[in-house]
Amino acid sequence: MKRILGAGLFYILISACSVHHNPKENPQVYLQNPGRETKKWKLVWEENFNSPKLDTTKWTRIPAGGADWNRHMSLDDACFGWEKGELILKGINNTDRQKNDKPFLTGGIWSKGKFAFQYGRIEIRAKLGSAQGSWPAMWMLAELDKYGQYPRNGEIDIMEHLNFDDIIYQTTHSHYTLNLGQKDNPKHSGTAKVNAGAYNVYGISWYPDRIVFQLNGVDTFTYPRISGVDASQWPYDQPFYLLIDQQLGGSWVGKVDPKQLPVEMRVDWVKVYQ
């Protein structure tokens, strides 16, 4: 997944003990104070999708782009639904090629510019659909562009699921892993067994020195900050925003079988703790 972010500046006064965010320069950013990771988690932000429309104070529909992951992204209402307090993100066949020349349309949301956090725990309860070429994902990118163009700010893939797999992929990407090829020092990716068609809670616990990936509250893979290597190994010292999207097709997941569409991801809730 690739996304080039705009530049930004970030200043904050560090105060003691409490969870807080910067109310002036970047009111959408929640920072965790030093030492807070040793204390009990406190809920600081949540989304329960109880409204029959997208809360635009928290989310924006992801527009189309030129990468595999966003090639078929669409703002079309046909790619989004709400039912019983759940957001439904869909991958569908495009029935109007005059309006949009892409063969498939997909729905996704991001919190870019509206909510980001640095350190803490995020959990997302969702049920995934399966189809040939289906690629639902929950992931994070840097909000304020501290280190430069992608992949220098890093990427955190909370969960990616391919086709009919019985595993999910949980991964970090950065200049260190992609451009310098350092994927095993330390290991940058893990997998976890999953029943994708059931409701699961996907998440990470993110600390100043490690990112712990989780499935249903169980630790599955840890990416640590290590010493003695290029500094680009750890760009994860800045706020990240959230993306949740039902992707289709690409060099990794393979070709889409249009006869197996529509496919959908149902998102029940999102919770962030610090």
Specify the DSSP class assigned to residue 23: S
68 burial type by CB count under 10 A (0-12 exposed, 13-18 middle, 19+ buried): middle
Asked if the bond preceding 151 is cis, omega within 30° of 0, the reply is yes
Secondary element (H or E) of residue 45: strand 43-47
- Quick check: 220 and 190 in contact, CB under 8 A? yes
SS3 assignment, position 230: coil
Count CB-CB contacts under 10 A for residue 198: 9
Phi, psi of 239, rounded to the nearest 5 degrees: -70, 145
Specify whether 143 is catalytic: no
The number of residues in the chain equals 274
3-state secondary structure of 181: coil
Tell me if the bond preceding 258 is cis, omega within 30° of 0. no
Pair 137, 245: CB distance under 8 Å: yes
Respond yes or no: is residue 155 known to be catalytic: yes
**Tally of helices (H runs) and strands (E runs) in the chain:** 0, 19
Q: Of these residues, 123, 143, 155, 264, which one is catalytic?
A: 155
Catalytic one among 37, 123, 160, 264?
Answer: 160
Instruction: Identify the bridge partners of residue 241 per DSSP, sorted by sequence position.
Output: 141
Is the omega angle on the peptide bond into residue 52 within 30 degrees of 0, that is, cis?
no
Quick one: which of 161, 174, 237 has its CA closest to 206? 237
Give the active site residues. 155, 160
